[in-house]
Structure 1
Amino acid sequence: MHTEITSERDQSRLKMKPTSKVCRRIHEHYLIDKEKLLTLVNRRPSFLIYSLCFTILLSFYVLCASNSLRFAFNSTHGHHFDQRNSLVQPGNDDEKCDLFTGRWIRDVRGPLYTNFSCKTLPYQRNCLLHGRTDKDFLHWRWKPDQCELPVFNLRSFLNIVQGKTMAFIGDSLARNQMESLLCLLSAEETPNQVYRDAEDRTATCHFPRHNFTIIVLWTQFLVSASEIIVNGSATGGFHLHLDKIDESWVQKLSAIDYAIISDGQWFFRPNYLYEGGRFVGCIYCQETNVTDLGPGFAIQKAFRLALKHINDCNNCPRIVTILRTFSPSQFENGGWNTGGTCTRTSPLAPEEIKDGGGLDWYYRRIQLAEIDSARKLGEKKGNAFDILDVTRAMLMRPDGHPGLHWGNQWMKGYSDCIHWCLPGPIDTWNDFLLQVLRRQSRNPLGSRTHGSRFIGRR
């Protein structure tokens, strides 16, 4: 029996090709002398000695075989490996690693869910359902330069947020991230949708087994805004009051443990800006004698005021506020209403990003400066502030948008190069989110009992 088992093992080992001269010699010596060694082992006077020799020789062979496999792995150095096998956990030895600086690498396994397996996947983000035929965009994962980003662990996520409320505060891209998170978590527990407004902009979902609540709070600008109406018709432009907060989301703060705050795309419209009730300028209004202050001015003011209200909330418990940085739109050959498209099918390398990110990078810097200031003030009050710095990663993913594949019946022929397909690269935002939550969980939020406070109409 022993001889038969050893023979089967030998056959499998013969398929491995040692790469070094030393390994080849040991390999050949092992094949030639194996039968002699087995005979010697059966001689009782020298049983222990020859058994020891056999074990040592076999150990050298296994070592060489493992080196051969390691060489084969390293030969795929061209950024092709599966991160699901990674055991590196940021927050331990890689505490100082920048998760947000890296590149996209191939991932043979693809996403953790499909457009069929996720029952909560929204119609307009289901790109494959709406005719997208290329699937290469699904087979890339983010690789930080100095460490590994572990694949999303839904049980770990749910353990951290058990009994808590998480709010995604912002526009439809905040909703896009929330929908990605629902798809990832629904493999463990199907959430109950307990509230949705008439326009399906504000919604609440609850995971009863974990007493975890996710809400999305719609706000285009974070600050108070009213749409400009001309002759009874909406123009798409807004009056923005940069010193008045949008109360629709701020009034919910007392029931929130984690606030993921974001905004951006709505600032790129013909908007009129006010402070103290006084008109101070515009964005893209193209009017004579009116100062065009640009989107950056309004973005800075809006985020500064929003973060200040979080810090100044007297009846709020300790909130972990996470700012998700600017997500670029990636139209080519025009804008959304001038024939712009996004038809790429694979990511860019870091060196292919045009102009170092241009204005997208500028808006990101504005946001980082504001979250840094809020963090310094919040430390005195026990609040926590962190970032999901997605801008660099998403500048490399012009292939991840719906394009024409978003099932829009009232705007046929228009490409959506702002939102992200599900599944798709936006799922990486929640990979980042889990790592931020792990870091923040080292500073417990304290005992809380309002985990399901948002259940019901509010």
Structure 2
Amino acid sequence: MLPSTEKVVDSDNRNRDRISISNSNSSRSSDFLNKGCNVFDGKWVIDETYPLYNASQCPFMERGFDCLGNGRKDQGYLKWRWKPQNCEIPRFDVGAVLEFLRGKRVVFVGDSLSRTQWESMVCMLMNGVEDKSSVYEINGNEITKQARHLGVMFGPFNFTVEFYRSVFLVQPGLVPRHSPKRVKAALKLDQLDDISGEWIDSDVLVFNSGHWWTPTKLFDMGWYFQIGGKMKLGMSINNAFRVALATWQSWVENSVNPNRTRVFFRTFESTHWISGTRQNCKVTIKPTHDVKGRQTSSISDAIINVVKNVPINVRLLHVTKMGAFRSDAHVGTWSDNPTVPDCSHWCLPGVPDMWNELLFSFLLSE
């Protein structure tokens, strides 16, 4: 059976054929990988077939990410699709993906941006399940910002999509004796998070980190770095992050079974705070053309470098440039707490859906 096609309208108002992921065979997305195309180099184009789901019909989405539900009036931000320069991303086919995931376990590990991608995936997949009651949180947990573990079971297909909150990936620890008073907590750079054993038995494993590796999240709160039981009070955040990534690499090499588990690492997601503050957040109506250097990041560079050196196959999801254009897609004041502006997180539906489209395209293509 040949891949199906359908007409959509791009921003230049021209119709084009868009390849659909089907259950056929590897030909379903041959253009996606075989031409050596960099799918992370491209632009956002208008596509009236988006969004992929209705937020009001997904009970697993945090209220804080439901911008429409929180009063946002303009809906143009929902209609943009990422278009690589020299190839096409296979069209998302929820039926094919549900079958692909049958009997599997998908695990996200990271900070709140990882939780956003987890919620996005659950909502995307739930849209293809007829009996919505057959999709449920396996632990009965409420979806909150502080939840350490969340997992949703898709009963008819016997697979789970889970999230583990591990904002640094490495292990928080107690302050060693005789430490200076300014040290309130230690971050053990040479030990992966103590819940890492729960990530191993997975079929798809997606990591992110970076948004907590800042002076305000670390030094201002009394967090300092520790290696081999000794505090490293003079270590910079960039150097500490590289040490933490080396610890992650060692864990992947020694703990993950590459014959079973497909590993992904997502790069830093662009934010759009004005003048570098956390007070001035302006959400635009359309994507911006002036990315103002946001297409690169020292955090992303460190992730790219470590992924290159992992001897097993780890797929990089290099989304930094993609997000740099999307000043229109942040939560802004359309959250569950409108008095606190937010130019870090994304509205759902929105940008994280595209991360998942890419994720599924890699999985089904390979």
After TM superposition, the score normalised by the length of structure 1 is 0.67
Which secondary structure does the structure 2 equivalent of 1:247 belong to?
coil
Whole-Å Cα distance in 1 between the matches of residues 354 and 86 of structure 2?
Answer: 17
Query: Which of 305, 309, 332 matches 1:373?
Result: 309
Corresponding residue for residue 198 of structure 2: 252
What is the alpha-carbon distance in structure 2 between the residues aligned to residue 148 and residue 389 of structure 1? 16
More helix by share: 1
Report 1:51-90 matches (<5 A): 79-80=12-13, 85-87=17-19
Residues 248-270 of structure 1, C-alpha deviations (whole Å, 9 max, x = no match): 1x111342111101111111122
Pick from 433, 442, 446 the counterpart of residue 359 of structure 2.
433
Going from structure 1 to structure 2, the CA distance change for 1:317 and 1:195 (only over 3 Å counts) comes to farther
- Classify the secondary structure of the residue corresponding to 1:426: helix
Of the three residues 270, 279, 288, the one matched with 1:348 is 288
SS of the residue 1:354 aligns to: coil
The number of equivalent residue pairs is: 332
Alignment correspondent of 1:49:
none
How do residues 223-372 of structure 1 correspond to structure 2 at under 5 angstroms? 223-226=170-173, 238-248=185-195, 250-268=196-214, 269=217, 270=219, 271-281=223-233, 291=234, 293-294=236-237, 296-313=238-255, 318-333=260-275, 335-336=277-278, 339-349=279-289, 352-355=290-293, 357-358=295-296, 360=297, 362-372=298-308
Is 1:392–2:294 an aligned residue pair? no
Letter in 1 for 2:192: I
The letter for the 2-side match of 1:293 is S
Give how far 1:314 is off. Answer: 7.4
Classify the secondary structure of the residue corresponding to 2:345.
coil
Q: Following superposition of structure 1 onto structure 2, how do residues 82-101 of structure 1 map, counting pairs within 5 Å?
A: 85-87=17-19, 91-94=29-32, 95=34, 96-101=36-41
Distance in 1 (alpha carbons) for counterparts of 2:162 and 2:114: 10
Residue of structure 2 in register with 1:405 after alignment: 334
The whole-number CA distance in structure 1 between the counterparts of 2:258 and 2:18 is 38
Question: Quick one: structure 1 residues 316 and 385, their matched pair in 2 at CA, closer, same or farther if it must change by over 3 Å?
Answer: closer
**1:195 equivalent among 139, 157, 164:** 139
Counterpart-to-counterpart distance in 2, 1:327 and 1:80 = 29
3-state SS of paired residue (2:301): helix
TM-score (norm 2): 0.83
> In structure 2, the residue corresponding to 1:399 is in which secondary structure?
coil
- Residue 109 of structure 1 deviates from its aligned partner by 2.8
Secondary structure of 2:73 counterpart: coil
Which residue number in structure 1 is paired with residue 49 of structure 2? 109
CA–CA distance in 1 between the matches of 2:10 and 2:346? 29
- Gaps of at least 5 residues in structure 2 are 1-6, 22-27, 176-181
Compute the RMSD of aligned alpha carbons.
2.6
The whole-number CA distance in structure 2 between the counterparts of 1:401 and 1:236 is 34
C-alpha displacement of 1:247? 1.2
Do the aligned residues in 2 keep the contact of 1:81 with 1:105 (CA within 8 Å)? no
Q: Deviations over 1:18-46 (max 9, x none)?
A: xxxxxxxxxxxxxxxxxxxxxxxxxxxxx
What percent of counterpart residues are identical? 27
Letter in structure 1 aligned against 2:19: L
Q: CA deviation at 1:78?
A: 5.6
Question: Runs of 5+ in structure 1 lacking a partner?
Answer: 1-72, 229-234, 282-290, 379-383, 441-458
Match of 2:249, as an amino acid? Answer: L
Cα deviations by residue, 1:217-262 (Å, 9 ceiling, x for unpaired): 110100011488xxxxxx99752111111111x1113421111011
The equivalent of 2:122 in structure 1 is 182
Counterpart of 1:208 (choices 152, 155, 171) is: 155
Give the equivalent residue in structure 2 for 1:232.
none
Partner amino acid, structure 2, of 1:364: S
Partner of residue 221 from structure 1, selected from 148, 162, 168: 168
CA distance in 1, matches of 2:183, 2:56: 35
CA displacement 1:327-368 (0-9 Å, x = unmatched): 1222114522xx22132121123xx2213635x2x2212101
How far apart in 2 are the matches of 1:312 and 1:396? 38
In structure 2, the CA distance between the partners of 1:402 and 1:77, relative to structure 1 (3 Å rule), is: closer
Out of 407, 415, 421, the position equivalent to 2:341 is: 415
- Give the drift of 1:120: 2.5
